[in-house]
Amino acid sequence: MSDLPNGPKHLGVTPPIALNYPTQREIEVTDLLVQELTAQGTFESEDESRRREVVLGKLDKLVKEFVYRTSKKRQLPDADAREAGGKIFTFGSYRLGVHGAGADIDTLCVVPRHVAREDFFSDMHDSLNSLNEVTELTSVTDAYVPVIKMKFQDIPIDLVFAKLNVPKVPDDLELRENLLLKNLDETCIRSLNGSRVTDEILRLVPSIPAFRTSLRCIKLWAHRRAIYSNVMGFFGGVAWAMLVARICQLYPNAIAGAIVSRFFRIMYQWNWPQPVLLKPIEDGPLQVRVWNPKIYHGDRYHLMPIITPAYPSMCATHNVTQSTKKIIEEEFKRAAEIADKVMIGTGKWSDLFSKHDFFSRYRHYLQIITSSDSATRQLKWSGMVESRIRHLISKLEGVDNLYLAHPFVKGFDKVHHCATEQEANDVSHGIYNLKPISEKSGTDSSKSGNENGSNTIYTTTFYIGLLVEPRAVGSTTAHRQLNLSWPISEFTKLVKSWDKFDERYMNITVKNVKCTQLPQEVFEEGEQRPTKLKRTKPGGKAKSNTTTTEQPIKKRKTDKVTDKVDTATDQPNKKRKTDKVIDKDDMTTTEQKRKSDKVEINGSNLESN
């Protein structure tokens, strides 16, 4: 809390902008917002809510039993072993009260000092594995925050571990005190951070009901507009929560409808890289790094810094790139215009939640295909590649004539049953026309390799939309060139340097595809796909708007020509013609402009019909 000079107390680093109470119109639009959120299915049923409480109760009991067993192994007296305790904390969307149906529960297992992380990932894992109620159990010990993932009575659970430097963990323990972090390793501090940040956010908002309804709205909007992903360079759940909390601080007496409207207007006009803070950054008892661009050179490069309120303060948005910043700001502008119309009665909330247009927005896309021979291996391999895509985005941003590299927020998983090694090789390189493909949904990780005599290949495909700089007014340049060789080569070398990469079972391919060549899996049922346009020569003969570039390869039965470039090495390729493709700033560009404005894309696998 901070004190206004000769005035009331306030939350945040600045005084409120306004203390006005809701108007009748704001009450009306808030009611309409709640109705729309209900219609959109953002609230879970009472039955599911009760099931979550039961599951958390069982999990807390399991943790106490685990701590007791471990205490006995450490030769503690029985009385001390029973008093050692152990406790489950929740954080994330569930703790904030904004989770929806089917959402996972982020949980933290806190134990006393004599219980080791190794005990957790062995004894606790085995205990969970013995339960019929637990399915899809997996331990990720090498993650930035090590975690046990599972479904407990069909409810997804992420369980992280932290031990405190205390002899026992009572049920009334709270994690707010900074001194609890003393003598802990960095992994435990990171594990505790999620719970501490979530609790601090709730303490720093003036009205929790208004905050929760507003945050539900913003989360749904961010998901629908495909800008909800920390790993891909957008904002994650904690960052969106802190932004909403800041607007609540600036309008402490406002209700959800007014907060959402002001949220978009203020965020669109925010003077980045000015940081978003919920309270002043505080010092603490540890020799750990706290976000400070005056001291740490790297912190100065954070483009849209949103700083966590719990000690040690960190930037929750360090992954944002120049491209994702532009996209987020565009979405803020669009949403602000819609919210303004809602407030004056000429628009409706449903317009805010319309689906993104990512797969029809650009003329060209990079397709990043990861593949391996088992579901378990593919989960780790694709997750590692996904965590590095932001590095590829940063490198692409340095390419001449490229204005924007827009990553999609998730990958597309598929399972392919191939009859021959050649088909398996084709699938791993993104050639899917040889064999029917089944979508991967709840694949049993125990099934891998050959099945019924076939080769089973697991793939995850990521997409990056490419937007070319518009030609300068009066430019007479016949065509421009995008040379992507170096960014792609550096990216593939980066991911293949992973210590668990095994070229016998894993592969990565990066290709350029046109919007008309995107696979059906990226479009929802009933969604209109981009259509292929043709241009005509002066003589009237129709000609495809795509031309092949490299040495022709023998045509398949489908008359498909595949031009391949080795993106995993720096070796120069044979001299080849360049692929001339059309730079369309708008999908409705005229034929005349398409003829006169051409772009060459070099350095990625190119496929043309």
Binding site for ATP, residues?
Answer: 91-93, 104-106, 158, 219, 228, 237-238
Q: Nearest 5°: phi and psi at 431? A: -100, 105
Q: What is the pLDDT of residue 84?
A: 97
The class of domain 2-39+204-353 in CATH terms is mainly alpha
In tens, the pLDDT along 489-520 reads: 999 999 999 999 999 999 999 999 999 999 98
Q: Is 68 a residue of the active site? A: no
Confidence at 476, pLDDT banded by 50, 70, 90: low
Q: What is the pLDDT of residue 425?
A: 84
Q: Which residue has the tokens 């979530």?
A: 198
The region of weakest confidence among 121-130, 198-207, 320-329, 435-444 is 435-444
What is residue 543's three-state secondary structure?
A: strand
Which of the residues 64, 219, 380, 395 is marked catalytic? 219
Which of the residues 68, 228, 362, 432 is marked catalytic? 228
Q: What is the pLDDT of residue 582?
A: 35
Q: What is the pLDDT of residue 469?
A: 86
In tens, the pLDDT along 196-252 reads: 999 999 999 999 999 999 999 999 999 999 999 999 999 999 999 999 999 999 999
- Return d(Cα 149, Cα 157) in angstroms, integer: 6
Q: Are 480 and 494 in contact (CB under 8 A)?
A: no
- Return d(Cα 464, Cα 241) in angstroms, integer: 26
Query: At a CB cut-off of 8 Å and minimum separation 6, what does 128 contact?
Result: 62, 134, 137, 148, 150, 152
- Return d(Cα 67, Cα 484) in angstroms, integer: 54
Phi-psi region of 233 (alpha: psi -120 to 50; beta: other; left: phi over 0): left
Q: Which fold has domain 358-608?
A: Alpha-Beta Plaits (3.30.70)
Q: Are 223 and 311 in contact (CB under 8 A)?
A: no
Q: Which residue has the tokens 């029985």?
A: 78
Peptide bond into 312 cis (omega under 30): yes
Which of the residues 64, 71, 87, 93 is marked catalytic? 93
CATH number corresponding to 47-199: 3.30.460.10
- Return d(Cα 585, Cα 202) in angstroms, integer: 43
Q: What is the pLDDT of residue 568?
A: 36
The region of weakest confidence among 67-81, 93-107, 587-601 is 587-601
Q: Which residue has the tokens 């995993």?
A: 568
Q: Is 362 a residue of the active site? A: no
Q: Is 537 a residue of the active site? A: no
Cα–Cα separations (whole angstroms), residue 368 to 164, 343, 351, 460, 491:
42, 42, 32, 8, 11
Which of the residues 119, 123, 158, 579 is marked catalytic? 158
Binding site for Mg(2+), residues?
Answer: 104, 106, 158
Same fold, 2-39+204-353 and 358-608: no
Signed CA dihedral, 285, 288, 292, 296: sign only? positive
Which of the residues 58, 60, 94, 104 is marked catalytic? 104
- Return d(Cα 359, Cα 356) in angstroms, integer: 8
Q: What is the pLDDT of residue 447?
A: 41
Domain limits of the chain?
Answer: 2-39+204-353, 47-199, 358-608
Q: Please, what's the b/e burial string for 546-557 (b: 16 or more CB within 10 A of its CB; e: otherwise)?
A: bebbbeeeeeee
Q: Is 104 a residue of the active site? A: yes
Q: What is the pLDDT of residue 4?
A: 36
Residue 240 CA, chain-centre distance (Å), reads: 12
In tens, the pLDDT along 4-40 reads: 334 447 899 999 999 999 999 999 999 999 999 999 9
Which of the residues 64, 68, 106, 579 is marked catalytic? 106
Q: What is the pLDDT of residue 533?
A: 53
Q: What is the pLDDT of residue 534?
A: 52
Binding site, residues?
Answer: 91-93, 104-106, 158, 219, 228, 237-238
Q: What pTM was estimated for this model as a whole?
A: 0.84
Q: Please, what's the b/e burial string for 391-402 (b: 16 or more CB within 10 A of its CB; e: otherwise)?
A: bbbbbbeebebb
For residue 475, give the H/E element and its range. none
Confidence at 591, pLDDT banded by 50, 70, 90: very low
For residue 164, give the H/E element and its range. none
Q: Are 146 and 187 in contact (CB under 8 A)?
A: yes
Peptide bond into 470 cis (omega under 30): no
Q: What is the pLDDT of residue 454?
A: 64
- Closest listed residue to residue 504, CA positions, set 441, 449, 430: 449
Signed CA dihedral, 175, 178, 182, 186: sign only? positive
Burial class (CB in 10 A: 0-12, 13-18, 19+), 477: exposed
Q: Are 244 and 215 in contact (CB under 8 A)?
A: yes
Q: Is 502 a residue of the active site? A: no
Q: What is the pLDDT of residue 584?
A: 37
In tens, the pLDDT along 371-424 reads: 999 998 998 899 999 999 999 999 999 999 999 999 999 999 999 988 888 888
Q: Are 605 and 553 in contact (CB under 8 A)?
A: no
- Closest listed residue to residue 581, CA positions, set 607, 600, 603: 600
Q: Are 574 and 551 in contact (CB under 8 A)?
A: yes
Q: What is the pLDDT of residue 452?
A: 44
- Tell me what the mean pLDDT of segment 422-450 comes to: 58
Mean pLDDT, the chain, whole residue set:
85
Q: Are 272 and 301 in contact (CB under 8 A)?
A: no
Structure tokens, 517: 């060549």
Q: How many CB atoms lie within 10 A of CB 38?
A: 10
Pairing state between β 506-514 and 605-608: parallel
- Return d(Cα 317, Cα 301) in angstroms, integer: 11
- Tell me what the mean pLDDT of segment 78-82 comes to: 95
Confidence at 471, pLDDT banded by 50, 70, 90: confident
Q: Is 61 a residue of the active site? A: no
